[in-house]
Structure 1
Amino acid sequence: MPTGTPMKDIEELNQAFYNAIESGDLDKMSEIWTEDVPGRPAMCVHPGWPMLTGRSEVLRSWALIMANTTYIQFVLTDVQTTVIGDVAVVTCAENILTAADTDEPGFAAGRVVASSTYVRSGTGWRLWLYHGSPVLQSDDDDDEEEQEH
């Protein structure tokens, strides 16, 4: 599955991660995550969740999220990729559009800053650790945006 440079491979795998979330493809998500090895279990911190440790717990969380998400779209900004040997880190801002959690049809938007750490193994690059933190918007931020327009 390698397509070229490690940097390009990582960026394609990172995009595949978000595509799997958007399409609710748990099989693809399973291909992306690393197997647990002694001293290096898969780990995940969803925004607002405690640390999840172990591949089965991480994949169970994604299955739960996908089963309860009717629509989600990510627009990634501020993407930075660093590769050092057999470890790579991708940081970005996830600008998220999702179906509103209300009785009225509509959408809700949010922003998360995320770090994804990948490791190279005998089966290629795999996601080892994902950590997403919500970016809180204050009422002052909304007022400043309105004044700018």
Structure 2
Amino acid sequence: MSRAVDGADLEEAHAEFYAAFEEGDLDRMAAVWADGAYADGVSCVHPGWPMLRGRDEVLRSWALIMANTAYIQFVLTDVESDVYGDHAVVTCKENVLTADEGTEAGFLAGGSIVATNVFVRSDGAWRLLLHHGSPILNGAEAGEE
């Protein structure tokens, strides 16, 4: 497989992770994550959460998040990817908009998260092995103090 094809397939897998989250579709989310021999090594750090390890634990966390998220949208910027054989690293800035349908005003909030997503090629497809998201605090961008 050429690097160009790898790159397009990787971009598609990365986009599917965020689309599954935005749609609140747990089946789609489960399809994004690695399984089989990689299931025990699947890891996730949601912003402010401790490390979650193991496919089942990670998918339980997504079920909980999706059940409690009325609306979420991501605008990804600063996306960079590197392919190392059957592993790939994608870093990006997640610019997040979220709303709470439970309030009269439909509260809308926003924030930014820096994310690292590590993929493994398994059975010819890129599958997510690790997602780590860390919030960017106000004034913390570009070394601002």
Please indicate, yes or no, whether the TM-score normalized by the shorter chain is above 0.5.
yes
Matched, 1:77 2:53: no
**Paired position in structure 1 for 2:122:** 121
- Aligned alpha-carbon RMSD (Å): 2.3
**Compared CA separation, residues 27 and 82, structure 1 to 2 (3 A):** same
> What does 1:85-100 correspond to in 2, within 5 Å?
85-100=85-100
**Cα-to-partner distance string for 1:75-118 (whole Å, 9 max, x where unaligned):** 00000011010000110000000015984423000100000000
Gaps of 5+ in 1: 145-149
Structure 1 residue ranges (4+ consecutive) displaced by more than 6 angstroms after TM superposition? none
**Paired position in structure 1 for 2:25:** 25
1:100, 1:137 → 2: CA distance? Answer: 22
Percent of aligned pairs with the same amino acid:
55
Normalised to the residue count of structure 1, the TM-score between the two structures is 0.85
1:46, 1:18 → 2: CA distance? Answer: 14
Deviation at 1:125, TM superposition (A): 1.3
Gaps of 5+ in 2: none
1:105, 1:120 → 2: CA distance? Answer: 40
- For 1:37, what is the secondary structure of its paired residue? helix
Deviation at 1:37, TM superposition (A): 2.5
Aligned length, in residue pairs: 138
- For 2:106, what is the secondary structure of its paired residue? coil
Q: Is the 8 A contact 2:45 2:132 kept in 1?
A: yes
Which of the pair has more CA radius of gyration? 1
1:32, 1:38 → 2: CA distance? Answer: 13
2:114, 2:60 → 1: CA distance? Answer: 22
